[in-house]
Amino acid sequence: MKVAILGTNGQLGSDLVETFGEEAIPLTHRDMDVTDPESVKILKELKPDGGNQHRRLRQG
């Protein structure tokens, strides 16, 4: 399962990258600005396993 993690320069983001290991797709503000629709298109190229992880966490 691939997981895109935003804010990987910060404490939480870097901890999540360490936790997910090879499954992490680390992204910084330089990689993707969530306020810029063009910038967010990078997620389509990276193709993280989206949509289901948050549901699994809630059911967890």
Domain layout of the chain by residue ranges:
3-59
Stretch 33-59: mean pLDDT: 70
Q: Across the chain, what does the average pLDDT equal?
A: 82
Cα 33 → chain centroid: 12
Look at residue 3 and tell me whether its pLDDT is greater than 50: yes
Report d(CA 46, CA 60) in Å as an integer.
26
Within 10 angstroms of residue 20's Cβ, the number of other Cβ atoms is 15
pLDDT reported for residue 19? 96
Q: Say which residues have a Cβ less than 8 Å from residue 14's Cβ, sequence separation at least 6.
A: 8
Look at residue 57 and tell me whether its pLDDT is greater than 80: no
Q: Say which residues have a Cβ less than 8 Å from residue 46's Cβ, sequence separation at least 6.
A: 2, 4, 25
Provide, rounded to the nearest whole percent, the portion of the chain with pLDDT above 90.
42
The residues facing 3 across adjacent strands are 24
The DSSP 8-state label assigned to residue 33 in this structure reads -
Stretch 9-24: mean pLDDT: 95
Stretch 17-43: mean pLDDT: 90
